[in-house]
Chain A
Amino acid sequence: MKERLLQEIAEIKAEAEGELKSLADAAAAEACRVKYLGRKGRVTSILKLLSGLDQESRPAVGREINILKSMLEGELREVSEKLKKTEQGASLAAHRLDITLPGRRVKAGHRHPLMKVMREVVEIFTDMGFSVHTGPEIESDYYNFEALGVPPDHPARDMQDTFYVDGNRLLRTHTSPVQIHVMEAHKPPIFAVFPGAVYRRDNDVTHSPMFHQVEGLVVDRHITMGDLKGILSTFCRKMFGGRLKVRFRPSYFPFTEPSAEVDIQCVMCDGTGCRICKGSGWLEILGCGMVDPVVFEAVKIDSRRYSGFAFGMGVERIAMLKYAIGDIRFFFENDMRFLEQF
């Protein structure tokens, strides 16, 4: 009996080892497990015969069976795991997406470049402690011209061709009237910028009948032209780059004195001279100056105690330089191919 059992164990072992080698997939491995280790499996049934064996031979045979059993269990686990892995790998490999197709989304729109640049300009000043004010676009002659030192029949009116709404009212030709509104409403110290749309009767490659300005005003005791230079140089460097050269050149505005134009080193050619800067190496970026006593008088600020400076710049011009746009009309056409670039 004992011998017969031992021989059978050896046969099962040989047979199972053969089968284990040729298992094709996880399902076959499972079938193999059932065949040998299942409730009615061959190892299980042989184990049942153990009880019919005499006391002495039982441990030896039992040991053999257990060795066979754990050997089979171990091998089967290993094989079936390996097979499962292969199968999973094959199944994952079969599921292959075209990852180059675009993602699913509502495609975001774009901010208008003028509004982007205007916000950037304003932020540079608010970061330095400036307030922001706006004012009406339909203005009276007084705020747009007279209070700024430009009486009727003044030659400076030629600098700005004006749209009129009626006898006394017009579309503001600059954001400077906001200066007057602010100085009427607020006592110094005033540190403020005024962004907004302005209008002039002009229409060509570099002029649009409507365009945008950011104007600024500083009024306090002890404000000097050195401060004007400090603030505006800081602005130019923040806007166009840190190592940029900036120069202040005398100019004329009716509401500032001394007046200046601020030029920056040409951003296209780094100051060596090109078509954009007309060979000069410099680009005119903004106008500025110390507030003229005439203006202080109009708003009843004592020009002997207070001083200040004002500045103004065209948003379109800055945007054209920043993005290398050659024609101002692109800003107002709203061609999607243009807008989508920003």
Chain B
Amino acid sequence: MRVPLEWLKDFVDVRVKPERLSHLLTMAGLEVERIERVGTDTIFEIGLTPNRADCLSIMGVAREIAALTGAKLKLPVFKAPRGSGKMASAARIAVKHPRQCPRYTARVIEGVKISSSPGWIVKRLADFGVRSINNVVDATNYVMLETGQPLHAFDLRFLRGGRIVVQKAGKELSFGTLDGVERNLLEDDLLICDGEGPVALAGVMGGDNSEVRQSTTSVLLESAFFEPTSIRRTSRRLGATSESSRRFERGVDPNGTLAALHRLTQVILDTAGGTPTADWVDIYPKKVFPKRVALAETEVERILGMKVGVKKSAEILSRLCFAARSSRGKISVSVPTFRPDILRPIDLIEEIARVAGYDSIPESMPVARIAPLVRPRFLKEEELSREALVGAGLTEAVIYGFTSAESLEPFAGTTSGEVGITNPLSAEQGVMRTTLLPGLLDALKLNASRQCTDCRLFALARVYSRPMSIGPSEEPRHVAGVMAGRRFPSGWERSREPLDFYDAKGVVETLFDALGVGRLAIFQRGEAGSFLHPGSFAYVICGGKRIGFVGQLHPDVCARWEQEREIFVFELKFEQLAELATAEAPRFSELSRYPFVQRDLAVVVPDRIPAVEVEKVIFDAGVDIVSSVRIFDVYRGNGVAQGHKSLGLSLILARNDRTLTDEETEAAQEKVVDALKQKLGAVLRT
């Protein structure tokens, strides 16, 4: 809200410099976001919090300044201008729904002359950021900005039957507001009607049918108090907000209604002439009285951690125009009706604290009993995993929780029950992700489009699915990665080698080792989901459960992200992985004190036989001294028959209790080779 200093000076003696005033206001909760100099005037741009409806006016801010600086407040009492003729013969007013409209005041002025406003009104409106229209409309705006009371002027000619009825729409209907928009109203919307239909959306906006215009000579002035919730509901639903609705929905002073009407009448008489009726209408069946709140001194200290004292507290509240009396550790407060936000003792404590200054509260540290800390499940494993993946060369990405339904489509086989967003910003953000891959692929694509083709990214984050029953949604974590480009992009040897399946698998293995579940993981061939390369992917089985996959992305899916190159991906269910990590501490096995024997051999086997099977045959050959098998070479080509491969195997033979003899190792090797021959048709290569 823009507040000109010169205007403020109508109501309060400002003695401090603008910078000092700005600081005082800011430190009392009326944040001055900007100070602007316009000619000799200074305009404060104040960011008001929604609770301070009372400060949506020059007089309200003046009141606050008086309380903060101790300056003299000069709020005028607006007297009713004299007039002639009976209001009853000029117009008849009725309120059908007093709960939505607790107070309605009105008066008629005849013989006004519509023209432009005097320069000082135009300037003040402009300083505030309101456009000048004509003298009558400007007067309603001017008095609203001054007092905080929204006001409206109707052209009496267009009030059919010379009547005003405040009532709910009662049915769905359409109504044109003066901003030129045709609005669809619902039964509950509160309207100002004339004898035949709506002439204004109560508290929000006038209708174009009864607008004051150049030819207007008689006006009916409205100053009312509408119930905040009803105004807010209508204005929100219609997307129709105005200076008026902004004030009503935050709460105006029900006891300031009439004074504002008098002030408005006077300003119109001063700027447009005319004769008001001798009396006015004031429908106010249930008067709102100031609330009484009692506050114990001990409460102030318990919340703020400092003693303020009843005397000082009462003095602060009095400065804010509260009627406060203190007696024996207690303050009895009568809250003025322009402060609807103050209802409870805690509200008063806040007033005391902010006027005394938060700076005056001494800093302290809480005194607490020591208790074991609670951490979210798997927080530690999450950190371990992130660090392991970074160590394995992947960079962490943060991706949006939502994505497009289209981008999830290729992966739909792996998930179900997407959560859609009913009001997304765009279709690209229409559903909550069920897999992390689309987000990671988006990032990969973006990098490729910016000439970065060596890209390895991971994310460890939630995915979302609809819960099976009512209750919190299911948001399990996944850990996923995408990799494309060269294997050693920053190296100077082998720098042209591209990444392949084994690089991605290696990353997954590194992750498993970091979590201590390396021995529990099995990579298994299977029916590929349609988004993976059928020959170059593996399901990851951990602890007997399928927890994810690693492999090459199907070229069709790559094409969706406009990538022609090979992309390798993995995605694992993190909770299941972490659960295994925490399941069991490793058990120590005794170290051998005797030397081992290493035997290297090369065997030729058919291509289709997986390495793991070769290992299995060796371990199952009935030789108990084989302590490990390592494949150190895989060779196809010259010297090896088509459809076959040569495997270089390194056997480690050992016993824990003694040194092996030559005969033993010889026999063991023979047995192993025999088993390979018989079970796999292997041929020893010499």
Residue of B nearest to A165 (CB): B419
Neighbouring B residues of A210 by C-beta, 8 Å: 400-402
Verify if A112 is at the interface (C-beta below 8 Å from B): yes
Is chain B's binding surface mostly helix, strand, loop or mixed? loop
Residue of B nearest to A279 (CB): B34
Beta-carbon contacts under 8 Å, B373-421 to A: 373-376, 379, 383, 386, 389-402, 419-421
Verify if A242 is at the interface (C-beta below 8 Å from B): no
* Contacting pair A112 B229 (CB below 8 A): no
Cα distance A199–B421 in the bound complex, in angstroms? 12
Beta-carbon contacts under 8 Å, B418-474 to A: 419-425, 429, 432, 443, 446-447, 450, 452, 455-458, 462, 464, 472-473
**Which of A155, A227, A248 is close to B365, meaning CB atoms less than 8 Å apart?**
A227
* Contacting pair A201 B390 (CB below 8 A): no
Neighbouring B residues of A336 by C-beta, 8 Å: 395, 447, 452, 455
Contact A260 to B366, CB < 8 A, known contacts A115-B386, A155-B249, A224-B303: no
Verify if A126 is at the interface (C-beta below 8 Å from B): yes
* Contacting pair B398 A132 (CB below 8 A): no
Cα distance A230–B50 in the bound complex, in angstroms? 28
Beta-carbon contacts under 8 Å, A120-139 to B: 126, 129-134, 136-138
* Contacting pair B386 A226 (CB below 8 A): no
Shortest distance from the beta carbon of A198 to any chain B beta carbon, whole Å: 10
Verify if A271 is at the interface (C-beta below 8 Å from B): no
* Contacting pair A201 B304 (CB below 8 A): no
Neighbouring B residues of A164 by C-beta, 8 Å: 421-423
Beta-carbon contacts under 8 Å, B333-352 to A: 344, 346-347, 349-350
Contact A224 to B364, CB < 8 A, known contacts A102-B490, A250-B28, A258-B354: yes
Beta-carbon contacts under 8 Å, A87-131 to B: 101-102, 104, 106-112, 114-115, 119, 126, 129-131
Neighbouring B residues of A134 by C-beta, 8 Å: 376
Cα distance A155–B353 in the bound complex, in angstroms? 24
Verify if A81 is at the interface (C-beta below 8 Å from B): no
* Contacting pair B27 A102 (CB below 8 A): no
Shortest distance from the beta carbon of A107 to any chain B beta carbon, whole Å: 5
Neighbouring B residues of A227 by C-beta, 8 Å: 305, 364-366
Cα distance A227–B419 in the bound complex, in angstroms? 41
* Contacting pair A250 B353 (CB below 8 A): yes
B: contact size bracket: 35 or more
Neighbouring A residues of B446 by C-beta, 8 Å: 333-335
Stretch binding the partner chain, chosen from A6-14, A46-54, A70-78, A189-197? A189-197
Shortest distance from the beta carbon of B563 to any chain A beta carbon, whole Å: 15
1/0 per position for A306-335, CB-CB distance to B under 8 A? 010000000000000000000000011111
Contact A332 to B401, CB < 8 A, known contacts A106-B392, A132-B379, A133-B374: no
* Contacting pair B422 A166 (CB below 8 A): yes
* Contacting pair B464 A292 (CB below 8 A): no
**Which of B305, B395, B423 is close to A339, meaning CB atoms less than 8 Å apart?**
B395
**Which of B27, B28, B365, B397 is close to A112, meaning CB atoms less than 8 Å apart?**
B397
Most-contacted residue by chain A among B236, B379, B398, B447 (CB, 10 A): B398
**Which of B29, B304, B443 is close to A251, meaning CB atoms less than 8 Å apart?**
B29
Verify if B187 is at the interface (C-beta below 8 Å from A): no
Neighbouring A residues of B443 by C-beta, 8 Å: 333-334
* Contacting pair A334 B398 (CB below 8 A): yes
Neighbouring A residues of B458 by C-beta, 8 Å: 109
* Contacting pair A250 B390 (CB below 8 A): no
**Which of B233, B363, B370, B391 is close to A233, meaning CB atoms less than 8 Å apart?**
B363
Neighbouring B residues of A197 by C-beta, 8 Å: 401, 462
* Contacting pair B50 A250 (CB below 8 A): no
Cα distance A106–B391 in the bound complex, in angstroms? 8
* Contacting pair A108 B393 (CB below 8 A): yes
Verify if B250 is at the interface (C-beta below 8 Å from A): yes
Residue of B nearest to A98 (CB): B492
Residue of B nearest to A223 (CB): B366
Neighbouring A residues of B401 by C-beta, 8 Å: 137, 171, 197, 199, 210
Shortest distance from the beta carbon of B317 to any chain A beta carbon, whole Å: 14
* Contacting pair A136 B472 (CB below 8 A): yes
Cα distance A340–B305 in the bound complex, in angstroms? 46
Verify if B49 is at the interface (C-beta below 8 Å from A): yes
Shortest distance from the beta carbon of B472 to any chain A beta carbon, whole Å: 5
Neighbouring B residues of A238 by C-beta, 8 Å: none
Verify if B31 is at the interface (C-beta below 8 Å from A): yes
Cα distance A111–B391 in the bound complex, in angstroms? 10
* Contacting pair A115 B367 (CB below 8 A): no
Beta-carbon contacts under 8 Å, A226-240 to B: 226-227, 229-231, 233-234
Cα distance A234–B366 in the bound complex, in angstroms? 12
* Contacting pair A335 B447 (CB below 8 A): yes
Verify if B232 is at the interface (C-beta below 8 Å from A): yes
Neighbouring A residues of B452 by C-beta, 8 Å: 335-337
* Contacting pair A158 B395 (CB below 8 A): no
* Contacting pair B302 A307 (CB below 8 A): yes
Shortest distance from the beta carbon of A205 to any chain B beta carbon, whole Å: 15
* Contacting pair A226 B305 (CB below 8 A): yes
Verify if B613 is at the interface (C-beta below 8 Å from A): no
1/0 per position for B463-503, CB-CB distance to A under 8 A? 01000000011010000000000000111110000000000
Verify if B546 is at the interface (C-beta below 8 Å from A): no
Cα distance A189–B369 in the bound complex, in angstroms? 8
Contact A109 to B34, CB < 8 A, known contacts A224-B304, A250-B29: no
Q: Which chain B residues have a beta carbon within 8 Å of chain A's beta carbons? A: 26-29, 31, 33-34, 49-52, 228-229, 232-233, 236, 249-250, 302-306, 344, 346-347, 349-350, 353-354, 358-359, 361-371, 373-376, 379, 383, 386, 389-402, 419-425, 429, 432, 443, 446-447, 450, 452, 455-458, 462, 464, 472-473, 475, 489-493
Question: Could you show 18 A-B contacts with beta carbons less than 8 Å apart?
Answer: A114-B398, A129-B373, A131-B373, A137-B401, A138-B475, A166-B422, A186-B374, A191-B366, A224-B304, A225-B303, A227-B305, A229-B364, A230-B363, A231-B365, A251-B31, A293-B344, A333-B443, A334-B399
What 16 additional pairs, Cβ within 8 angstroms, besides A225-B305, A259-B350, A278-B33? A102-B491, A106-B392, A107-B490, A109-B456, A112-B396, A130-B373, A153-B236, A155-B232, A169-B473, A171-B421, A220-B368, A225-B358, A247-B358, A252-B50, A290-B303, A335-B452
Name the 3 nearest CB pairs between A and B, nearest first: A224-B305, A226-B305, A250-B29
